[in-house]
Structure formats: structure tokens, C-alpha cells
């Protein structure tokens, strides 16, 4: 399952919405090098 980043999204908001943790999101999305920098329109794996 994927989440498409929307304006105002943060990794914390995405993790909270999908009942997971930021640590888990970073683990399954190794391309995210800076968790404070995510781009609108990018798809992030959540499960």
C-alpha cells in the first residue's frame, strides 16, 4: 500500500494516519535520506 504525499504532509502525519511509525516508514523506504524533506506527489510505501 502506498501514500501519495500531499501539501502539508509530514512523515509523522502519514505514519499516524496509517497506524505505523516513522521508523517503519524509513525502514521500508530506504530512499528517504532526510525524513524532514519529502516531496509533494511522491509515493511512499506504508505497508
pLDDT the model gives residue 8: 97
C-alpha cell at 28: 521500508
Given a cut of 50, the residues of the chain with pLDDT beneath it are none
pLDDT the model gives residue 23: 97
pLDDT the model gives residue 24: 98
Domain boundaries, the chain: 2-45
CATH number of 2-45: 3.10.350.10
Residue 39 and residue 21: Cα distance in Å, rounded? Answer: 19
One DSSP character per residue, 1-47 reads -EEE--TT--HHHHHHHTT--HHHHHHH-TT---TT---TT-EEE--
Please state the pTM of the whole predicted model: 0.89
pLDDT the model gives residue 5: 98
Amino acid at each position: 500500500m502506498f501514500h501519495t504525499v500531499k501539501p502539508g504532509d509530514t512523515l509523522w502525519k502519514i505514519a499516524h494516519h496509517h497506524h505505523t511509525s516513522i521508523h517503519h516508514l524509513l525502514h521500508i523506504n530506504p530512499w528517504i535520506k532526510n525524513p524532514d524533506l519529502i516531496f509533494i506527489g511522491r509515493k511512499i510505501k506504508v505497508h
